[in-house]
């Protein structure tokens, strides 16, 4: 049987953001508003013996993601920022980052440059 293994970490971060260009039917999003952002990171590993220790990955992701005022950043932007960091530090492996507002709606981004894996 052929398998693929991933590790996954999840955390939350309190933050504020806004969408100044929101359409009229979502005008309330133009003002700064608060969310609990739910973040999930998935990373491919090549074996099942803690190639990347998930507690270490979690400890690394939390400060990189940050908290507080995210300005105009969307869930897509927040996920992409973390993905860029991870792809640089863990090159050539599939990684995805999901960011959800209040665990209801959000975005998932994945790196596509995973040659050599």
> Which pLDDT belongs to residue 112?
86
Under the banding of pLDDT at 50, 70 and 90, the label for residue 115 is: low
Q: Torsion angle, CA of 106/111/112/117, rounded to 10 degrees?
A: -140
Return mean pLDDT, the chain.
Answer: 95
- High-pLDDT (> 90) share of the chain, %: 87
Note the pTM of the prediction, 2 decimals: 0.93
Residue 112, burial from CB neighbour count under 10 angstroms (0-12, 13-18, 19+): exposed
Percent of the chain clearing pLDDT 70 (strictly above) = 97
């Amino acid at each position: 049987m052929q398998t693929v293994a991933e590790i996954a970490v999840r955390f939350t971060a309190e933050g504020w953001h806004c969408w100044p260009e929101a359409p009229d039917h979502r005008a309330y999003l133009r003002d700064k508003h608060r969310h609990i952002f739910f973040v999930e990171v998935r990373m491919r590993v090549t074996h099942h013996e803690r190639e990347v220790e998930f507690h270490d990955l979690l400890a690394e992701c939390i400060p990189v993601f940050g908290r507080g005022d995210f300005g105009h950043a969307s869930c897509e932007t927040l996920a992409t920022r973390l993905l860029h960091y991870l792809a640089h530090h863990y090159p050539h492996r599939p990684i995805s980052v999901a960011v959800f507002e209040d665990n209801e709606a959000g975005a998932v981004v994945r790196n596509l440059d995973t040659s050599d894996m």
